[in-house]
Amino acid sequence: MSNTPAPAPATRTAAPSGAPATSRLVRSLAVATLVANIAIVVTGGAVRLTASGLGCPEWPLCTPDSLVTTPEMGVHGIIEFGNRLLTFVLAAIAFGMLASVWKSRRSRPDLLRLSIAALAGIPAQAFIGGITVWTGLNPWVVGLHFIVSMVIISVAVVLVNRAWLSSDGVAGRHAQLADRPLRPVIWAIGALSAITVVLGVIVTGSGPHAGDHGAARNGLNPDLVTRLHVVPVYLLVFATAVALYLVYRRTADKRLRSSLVLFTAVVLAQAVIGYVQHFLHLPIVLVAMHMLGASLLTAAAAHVVYTALSRKVPGKAPAEAQDSSRVPAAG
């Protein structure tokens, strides 16, 4: 009888602790959620900048008698109806995201909640879009439509970050990557980014690109609101410079540095586009780029705030947290 030991049963190799804890499908759909919501902002801008906002003069139908655009409505009807069709693309991605995280809803309720929030934003935006048509492109309603898109983009950024968390990141709570001196600066960056976007919406509502030649404007002085708009921009640039100084002066996590560098690039590019479009009297190409920039600014700001302040991002605890956790020796 042979004494040769039986071979050990094959075991599944565990995923590295730093590897994402979700499937590739979940991560891909999370990224698609973010990209699609930014894309529909750009296409919505194209509707407004081509004066196609009332290309479909009814909602939810395109005309009183037709769900789709008709030949008589011309290119404006095609542009407006095409933008409406993109809503179904967003819905397909959102439902796919929700389905992909449903099995893990008990272990990852965070992904489930964020997926539901992203999905809920679609009918909300569709209804607000309908109100814009019913009110003849009221600039305040159009502005609300844009701001809600920025909220959804922020949710999508958090969704992407959490979809890419490792098993360690999901299982444990970690200290914030930003130390105490940096935290108020990060909060300031988030708040100033939001104020900048909101004031930018008000500036747009006072400008010439109304979405239709007969649409009303908000009645505010464009030069005055533009000057108000640049105040938080200056403060945002200053806060960003302070944040960069702090993270490079201290031993900061490279993820925090990378997120701030990316945000700095977006802020500077958006500021340059804003100034150039103003002095060139708002050419539609630059206005479209500025709308894309607003979406990227929102996404980059949300990424900075999440990376710096979330307790679910694995990383070494700041020195203050380490000091506070030390227990004095007895005796």
Residue with the bigger pLDDT between 152 and 282: it is 152
Q: How far apart are CA 62 and CA 56, in angstroms?
A: 5
The pLDDT assigned to 159 comes to: 96
Return left, alpha or beta for 219; rule: phi > 0 is left, psi -120 to 50 is alpha, else beta.
left
Candidate from 207-211, 219-223, 273-277 with smallest mean pLDDT: 207-211
pLDDT at 8: 46
- The yes-or-no verdict on residue 191 having pLDDT over 80 is yes
DSSP string, 189-237: HHHHHHHHHHHHHHHHHHSS--SSTT-------HHHHHHHHHHHHHHHH
pLDDT of 175 over the 90 cut: no
For residue range 106-129, list pLDDT tens digits in order: 888 999 999 999 999 999 999 999
- Please tell me the predicted confidence (pLDDT) of residue 63: 87
What pLDDT shows up at residue 215? 84
As a whole number of angstroms, the distance between CA 93 and CA 64 comes to 30
Instruction: Give the range among 40-49, 182-191, 207-216, 218-227 with minimum mean pLDDT.
Output: 207-216
Q: Give the model's confidence band at 325: pLDDT under 50 very low, under 70 low, under 90 confident, else very high.
A: very low
Residue with tokens 């009110």: 135
pLDDT tier at 87, thresholds 50, 70, 90:
very high
Q: Is the pLDDT of residue 323 over 60?
A: no
Give yes or no for a contact between 34 and 152, defined as CB atoms under 8 angstroms apart: no
pLDDT for 291 equals 94
Q: If you average pLDDT over residues 71-99, what whole number do you get? A: 92
SS (H, E, C) 57-101: CCCCCCECCECCCCHHHHHHHHHHHHHHHHHHHHHHHHHHHHHHH
Weakest-pLDDT range from 16-20, 86-90, 188-192? 16-20
Confidence bin at 18 (pLDDT 50/70/90)? low
What pLDDT is recorded for position 178? Answer: 86
Closest CA to 176 of 307, 322, 311, 303: 311
Reported confidence tier of residue 169, pLDDT bands at 50, 70, 90: low
What average pLDDT is seen over the chain? 86
Q: What is the mean pLDDT of residues 259-286?
A: 93
> What digits encode the pLDDT tens for the residues 20-74?
778 899 999 999 999 999 999 999 999 999 988 888 989 998 988 888 988 888 8
